[in-house]
Structure 1
Amino acid sequence: MARKPASSPSSDDLGIDEALQRAQAHWNAGQADQAELFCQRILAVWPGHADALHLLGIMAHAYGNLDLALQHVRQACLAPRAPALYFSNLAEMCRQRGLLDEGEQAGRRAVALEPGQAVAWNNLGIILQEAGKLEESAVCLERVVALQPDYAEAHNNLGNTYKLMGRLDKAAARYEHALALVPDYAEARSNFAHLLCDLGRLDEAAEQARRAIDINPRCADAYVNLAGVEMGRHRHAEALRWLDSLLTSMPGHGNGLIARSKCLRRLDRIEEALDSARQAAATAPYSAEAHNVLGQALQAAGRFDEALACFDKAARLPGTAMGTAAVNRADLLAEIGRGAEAAAVYQQVLAADPGNVSAWAGRVDQKDYAAGDPEIAQMEALLATGAVQGLDERINLHFSLGKAYMDAGDGPRAFHHLGEGNRLKRATFTFDVEATGRWMAEIAETFTPALLGKFKGASSDLPVFVLGMPRSGTTLVEQILASHPQVHGAGELRVLQSLVSGMGNYPAAAAQMTPDEAARLGEAYLAQVAPLARGRRHVIDKMPANFMHAGLIRLILPNARIIHCRRDPVDTCLSCYTKLFAAEQRFAYDLAELGAFHRAYDALTAHWRAVLPQDRYMEVEYEAVVDDLEGQARRMVDFLGLPWDESCLSFHRTTRPVRTASLHQVRRPIYATSAGRWRGHADHLQPLLRALGLASPR
């Protein structure tokens, strides 16, 4: 009778216990095939044997087959006397699959069976953290470090929970404790980098993230966090480089795909942002953050119904992104003119989480405050108690309080908060207003009448450029004109700025163009913008900063109309100073720099006024529109070569997305209260008045 190979045991050769011991020994020795054979032989004799199933699950997990691992360990946990370890491992596998409810049940079963098992409490704490049950998570993880004080991973996990709770001081202490225990703990350094970024300590954050990558080049979140630092520095191309490096080696990394979508959206590469977000949602179908980011990308693409559906889905999924998704949904509702629905969502979020600063910002933008409003005291308490520790959140809250106090007529308190918010924001970036002024002067010197008459460019008269200083009435003018049935308002497009960036040494490169190059630039602009017109006669590009490029517009699109919006300089600058812009407006966060920038802008636009033809370049005074809406609206419609339409006078009823800082103002009939409002705050505006050359209030 032939002897059976030792690697193929049967129940006749070995007892179940010995077979299991050999399976475990082979697995420990790295001999997975032999270990699996022993487990399968055991199951052939004893179907449902819990220990064999559990070991098969561990092996499947180690080789990246999470679904098979879950199948085996779930079955193992059905055994009447399945130990706590099996439930703890099931909990962790469920977490990795995004099955947080099932994972929580398994984790609670594990700690009930063995209350002294630190690993089980740790796994449950992480699941509760990801489910957004942060107070319970902290209790679990505090228990872990009490049971096992030298458990570095638990200190790191507890730091993550405290960070999500906004208790950044406690989070920092836990990360530092973890690193004191294990200095080469890459994940803790990466998480510490993320926290330092939130605190605005970007150089330190970058150093920690780089050290994490040096320690472990496969520490994926370190790449994501380093990209976050670069985005905080407004260096989006550098951020993208780090993310692409990560995704080259780990193409399905969920957090990497989410971060890449955010970065591409800031670069205005919307279709690519959509692609990354879709990949993230497919990779992690139960991730609230993935669906939230997909919603943001769809919103940027103008696909609002799909975006709302994604935000709804994200808000229903467990996790810490629930509140963020709800606020994003409210912001989108406000953008598309459904203000009452947006207000209700903000209220719901704040009822559940009174410390949600983004919800406060949305609510404050919608509301007019009176003195003594209890909501002002609630926001003050968030700052005073230290409940809000992240830099971006503190900045946001200061701006919200500044606006609320301004509404309530309390100038000193308003400017206290505006001053602090602007100071904190200004400290996050470098900006040289004098160099910017010299650059604008160089633009004026380059675009001479001789150069402006040199090329024919692309012949289309489709585009209308509405430009000027931010907060000078550009959104109002766009909304009036976009109410005309033959005009589409496309909002703030980055197309022209992208073309300028591609030219290289601007403005000198413009003077060196050939006629063919000028025509190609014009056609390149039209190729991106013409589809937005949706069959209408004109499409408006309302990027205020295009005031720098009015001369280039004349070269490459000589038949385009340009409407320059002007407003009282002090009112304009004050309005900029009171607003935390979503886009980069680096000149806006210091009163003296605001004044210097405005003077450079004023000199450049005076040049355009002198050299551009009046049938293609017109100026509209904000105050004139306020005083005589119909007269100015008729003047603008005539400038576009269109017949008059009465709907232009009912611009506040026009249903269209508005994404600028003025979105709430243009939903209301025109009002005059913002004209000359700076005079009541002149004492707080002296640096601005001096920079504008106004020695005393006018």
Structure 2
Amino acid sequence: MSSAPISPDAMNIPAALSQARAHWNAGQADQAEQLCLQVLAAWPGHAEALHMLGLMAHALGNLDLAIRHLRQACLAPRAPAVYSSDLAELLRQKGMLTEGEEAARRAVTMDPTLVSGWNNLGILLQEAGKLEQSLACLERAVALQPDWAEAHNNLGNTYGRMRRMDRAEVHYRHALKLNPSCASAHSNLSFLLGSLGHYAQAVSEARTAIDLAPHLVDAYLNLAEVESSYLHYASALAVLDALHGFAPAHPQGLIARARVLRQIERYDEALACARQAVALAPGRADAHNVLGQVLQSLARHDEAMAAFETSAALPGTVAEDALIGQAMLLMEAGRKDDALTAFDRVQERFPDSVRALAGRADIKTFSANDPDIQRMEAWLAESEQRPLSDGTDMHFALGKAYLDIGDAQRAFHHLDIGNRQKRASFTYDVDAAATWMKRTAATFTPDRLAQFQGAGAQSDLPVFVIGMPRSGTTLVEQIMSSHPQVTGAGELSALRLVIESHGTFPDSLDSMTSDDVERLGHAYLARVTPLAEGRPRLVDKMPANFFYAGLVAAILPGARIIHCRRNPVDTCLSCYTKQFAGEQLFTYDQTELGVFYRSYEALMAHWRNVLPPQRLIEIDYEAVVDDLESQARRLIAFLGLQWDEACLHFHQTRRVVRTASVNQVRQPIYTASKGRWQKYADYLGPLLSALRIDA
């Protein structure tokens, strides 16, 4: 039933607004809105009616309309300070931090005792990266109202951003002591516990937050982050699906989804989510940053650099991630000096940036008195309550630094800790992996391969470089990619995705027909042919494609397969000293690493016996180091191409390299890595035992 029109008589307006509030509290949004609109018709620009409409629009998910109403309400001559405070919070949610800060400062200037004003200003300053100022504002809010749980919760968030996790936890737990039903405190405690490595507790706190407040967006975001950090990507997507159900256009939900989709290499979907987030919230630095990350994964480097630049120019702590993204792009492009300068830029703005220190460590050679070593050691000395991932990064960086200066004892002290911490962050069963590889070999009998002879997609475009990580695969790709008729495409997921589309490998072979074999071959070619840029050979350097070498011979009978080999201990040592960007889950425990290597070795021995010899060659890293030219000529001849001298100057080839070996392939061949393991034998006992090698 519609409300009666309001006359211009101002005496009716307070009653009408009171009635509107009653309708709103009763869940009758339409009636409440109509009354407010009638008030505005009778008294244009009425501040209270505009304020109420703004709060209703926000509750109904229309943030842009809410901001318009509140902006107009704040223009009224006697608009209360709380209106500016509420506007500040809405602007923060939109990512408009500068205007939001202005509104919040206006609120506390108008009323210095306004607790919500100090609280909202503190949150805005927190997101803008002005953490000391944020701390002062939120401490003021707590002083004005010590029993307000939400203020303690927000103060905990600022301490969290300052990486002072012990102080953050104190305030989260105090907030919950004041109000056990404070969903946001449960949610934030979840994120903190996850960052400290307490997975089960983190999930429990996030689930409690969602039970208490089923529409609390941050609770879903924090739970998804916890699941992702432990590589539970399916669980993270399920959480984000639930969020999408009630907030399909929430920018942070889209940003989180883009991140997870990128991790599982569903890049096209990730790009769509990232672009939608940018369109909805062009002022959010994290939206532009995730767009840059997805574009980087898609090898669209100029666009990625532009997205990172936009993100870095916007206010907030996300600028640290964006600047590091730029540094990594420069490093991948072989611009080492520019990359070092970019890391310096990060540390100018964010002096305590762990990721900048760790990233710079990866591309520099340390000397004994390098001040970065002291800085990293000092950071670790006070890192007990810092995020676990930061500490892991620092241990790997220090391990590399001490290896550079020849201090093996300190190097392996840090490498062992870093590897243990990384290994504790995910579940992995190396015995199950070994069983799976044995089953793969048993499935690909000579009779099975003969069954598919003559099927498959005919093309001599693909060249697969396979082997263990750190076995010389990047070096071999770089040599071949220096040839003008070869495109190096890097580590592609195309083969795995095509194979998985047919079912679970290798069990899917039991029902595979010749038509399926041909279809899979054409599906792979459809994915990679555009990457070749018209050249007759394309190198797919995904080391783990050794799992699928037998199927490659069936679906792509014209493909060439190059198996890179290196001394087993040198290979495994090199893996153990790196924290990989991808999921090389077997590399963070010496025993598991050795067991995996032996399983890989057995599977490759099987492929050697059953694959057509004209389609598989094996290249030893040590042979390339000893005699580059003869091995390079062998590679080019295997590709069926004429020799080109550029292949001997591979380190001068300018192309993007996105692997852990990005820095090594920018240098001429060097012999220092041959037999490297022997001087570290005292620290490799579990690995040598698993490999059944005597020191």
- TM-score tier by shorter-chain length is over 0.9
1:131 corresponds to which of 128, 133, 139: 128
The Cα of 1:503 is off from its aligned counterpart by: 3.9
The Cα of 1:210 is off from its aligned counterpart by: 1.9
Name the SS of the counterpart of 2:357 in structure 1. helix
Whole-Å Cα distance in 2 between the matches of residues 507 and 79 of structure 1? 70
**Superposition TM-score, scaled by structure 2 size:** 0.94
Q: Is the 8 A contact 1:26 1:32 kept in 2?
A: no
Q: Is the 8 A contact 1:166 1:387 kept in 2?
A: no
Root-mean-square deviation (CA), in Å?
Answer: 1.9
Q: What does residue 485 of structure 1 align with?
A: 484
Q: Is the 8 A contact 1:388 1:394 kept in 2?
A: no
Q: What does residue 28 of structure 2 align with?
A: none
| Residue pairs, 1:104-123, within 5 angstroms | 104-123=101-120
Whole-Å Cα distance in 1 between the matches of residues 175 and 85 of structure 2? 23
Whole-Å Cα distance in 2 between the matches of residues 388 and 370 of structure 1? 30
After TM superposition, the structure 1 stretch with the greater mean CA deviation from structure 2, 150-159 or 275-284, is 150-159
Whole-Å Cα distance in 2 between the matches of residues 329 and 315 of structure 1? 9
Does 1:256 pair with 2:249? no
Whole-Å Cα distance in 1 between the matches of residues 72 and 503 of structure 2? 63
Q: What does residue 41 of structure 2 align with?
A: 40
2:148 corresponds to which of 146, 151, 154: 151
2:231 corresponds to which letter in structure 1? H
1:366 corresponds to which of 363, 368, 389: 363
The Cα of 1:82 is off from its aligned counterpart by: 4.3
Does 1:211 pair with 2:214? no
The alignment covers a number of residue pairs equal to 683
The answer for unaligned runs of 5 or more in structure 1 is none
2:36 corresponds to which letter in structure 1? A
Name the SS of the counterpart of 1:656 in structure 2. coil
Name the SS of the counterpart of 2:617 in structure 1. strand
For residues 561 and 84 of structure 1, do their structure 2 counterparts lie closer, same or farther at Cα, with a shift above 3 Å needed?
same
Cα deviations by residue, 1:548-578 (Å, 9 ceiling, x for unpaired) = 2111111211221000000011110000000
The Cα of 1:105 is off from its aligned counterpart by: 1.6
Q: What does residue 583 of structure 2 align with?
A: 584
Q: Is the 8 A contact 1:23 1:39 kept in 2?
A: no
| Residue pairs, 1:404-443, within 5 angstroms | 404-443=401-440
After TM superposition, the structure 1 stretch with the greater mean CA deviation from structure 2, 347-356 or 359-368, is 347-356
Does 1:166 pair with 2:163? yes
Q: Is the 8 A contact 1:39 1:56 kept in 2?
A: no
After TM superposition, the structure 1 stretch with the greater mean CA deviation from structure 2, 632-641 or 106-115, is 106-115
Name the SS of the counterpart of 2:692 in structure 1. coil
For residues 514 and 384 of structure 1, do their structure 2 counterparts lie closer, same or farther at Cα, with a shift above 3 Å needed?
same
Cα deviations by residue, 1:450-477 (Å, 9 ceiling, x for unpaired) = 2222212222121110000000000000
Name the SS of the counterpart of 1:286 in structure 2. coil
Q: What does residue 19 of structure 2 align with?
A: 26
| Residue pairs, 1:449-488, within 5 angstroms | 449-455=446-452, 456=454, 457-488=456-487
Q: What does residue 201 of structure 1 align with?
A: 198
Would you identify which runs of 4 or more consecutive aligned residues in structure 1 move more than 6 Å?
Answer: none
The Cα of 1:490 is off from its aligned counterpart by: 0.9
Q: Is the 8 A contact 2:17 2:35 kept in 1?
A: no
Q: Is the 8 A contact 1:573 1:594 kept in 2?
A: yes
Identical-residue share of aligned pairs (%): 57
For residues 523 and 32 of structure 1, do their structure 2 counterparts lie closer, same or farther at Cα, with a shift above 3 Å needed?
closer
The Cα of 1:338 is off from its aligned counterpart by: 2.2
Whole-Å Cα distance in 2 between the matches of residues 244 and 539 of structure 1? 37
The Cα of 1:78 is off from its aligned counterpart by: 4.2
Does 1:497 pair with 2:490? no
Name the SS of the counterpart of 2:465 in structure 1. strand
The Cα of 1:156 is off from its aligned counterpart by: 1.5
Name the SS of the counterpart of 1:461 in structure 2. coil
1:375 corresponds to which letter in structure 2? D
2:235 corresponds to which of 233, 238, 251: 238
| Residue pairs, 1:48-447, within 5 angstroms | 54=51, 57-58=54-55, 60-62=57-59, 64-78=61-75, 81-386=78-383, 389-447=386-444
Cα deviations by residue, 1:153-173 (Å, 9 ceiling, x for unpaired) = 111211221111111122222
Q: What does residue 678 of structure 1 align with?
A: 677
Whole-Å Cα distance in 2 between the matches of residues 557 and 275 of structure 1? 31
For residues 388 and 350 of structure 1, do their structure 2 counterparts lie closer, same or farther at Cα, with a shift above 3 Å needed?
farther
Q: Is the 8 A contact 1:23 1:36 kept in 2?
A: no
After TM superposition, the structure 1 stretch with the greater mean CA deviation from structure 2, 148-157 or 635-644, is 148-157
For residues 157 and 488 of structure 1, do their structure 2 counterparts lie closer, same or farther at Cα, with a shift above 3 Å needed?
same
Whole-Å Cα distance in 2 between the matches of residues 334 and 274 of structure 1? 23
Whole-Å Cα distance in 2 between the matches of residues 64 and 452 of structure 1? 58
Q: Is the 8 A contact 1:221 1:256 kept in 2?
A: no
After TM superposition, the structure 1 stretch with the greater mean CA deviation from structure 2, 279-288 or 211-220, is 211-220
The answer for unaligned runs of 5 or more in structure 2 is 24-31
Name the SS of the counterpart of 1:565 in structure 2. strand
For residues 682 and 28 of structure 1, do their structure 2 counterparts lie closer, same or farther at Cα, with a shift above 3 Å needed?
same
1:450 corresponds to which letter in structure 2? D
Name the SS of the counterpart of 1:615 in structure 2. helix
Name the SS of the counterpart of 1:460 in structure 2. coil
Name the SS of the counterpart of 1:563 in structure 2. strand
Q: What does residue 26 of structure 2 align with?
A: none
Cα deviations by residue, 1:23-77 (Å, 9 ceiling, x for unpaired) = 431232223322332343233xxxx665565455455545555445444443444
Whole-Å Cα distance in 2 between the matches of residues 303 and 523 of structure 1? 24
Does 1:558 pair with 2:532? no
Q: What does residue 605 of structure 1 align with?
A: 604
The Cα of 1:267 is off from its aligned counterpart by: 1.6
Q: Is the 8 A contact 1:228 1:239 kept in 2?
A: yes
For residues 123 and 315 of structure 1, do their structure 2 counterparts lie closer, same or farther at Cα, with a shift above 3 Å needed?
same
Q: Is the 8 A contact 1:26 1:35 kept in 2?
A: no
The Cα of 1:669 is off from its aligned counterpart by: 1.3
The Cα of 1:366 is off from its aligned counterpart by: 0.9
Whole-Å Cα distance in 1 between the matches of residues 651 and 494 of structure 2? 27
Q: Is the 8 A contact 2:354 2:390 kept in 1?
A: yes
